Amino acid sequence: MKDPETGESVGVQVKQGKNSLDNSLSKSADKIFLFTTQGSVSPVDENVTVIQPEDLFVFVMTNENLIPDSIKMWLYFKQKSGS
């Protein structure tokens, strides 16, 4: 993937549950973004950004127009249940 503004290469790693993320990707692209729902991230290099679950949720809630309807349905149920 390429950053459309800078042309830099971008890598993404996403894990669900308590799976740990691999920081060795930092050598494979100019920018790396890591996200895990419950796992851990080893110390990261300067070009690595770790996305926290709370930050992702805030982004989704403030940018609903970018979210597919199927995901919006799950957000609606989550908000309705109060969790």
Q: pLDDT tens for residues 35-57?
A: 888 877 777 788 888 888 888 88
pLDDT at 15 over 90: no
Give whole-number Cα distances, 39 to 17, 18, 53, 55, 57, in Å: 6, 4, 11, 15, 17
* Every domain of the chain and the residues it spans: 1-51, 52-83
pLDDT at 7 over 90: yes
Core vs surface per residue 12-46: b (16+ CB within 10 A) or e: ebebeeeeebebebbeebebbbbbbeeeebeeeee
Task: Report pTM.
Answer: 0.68
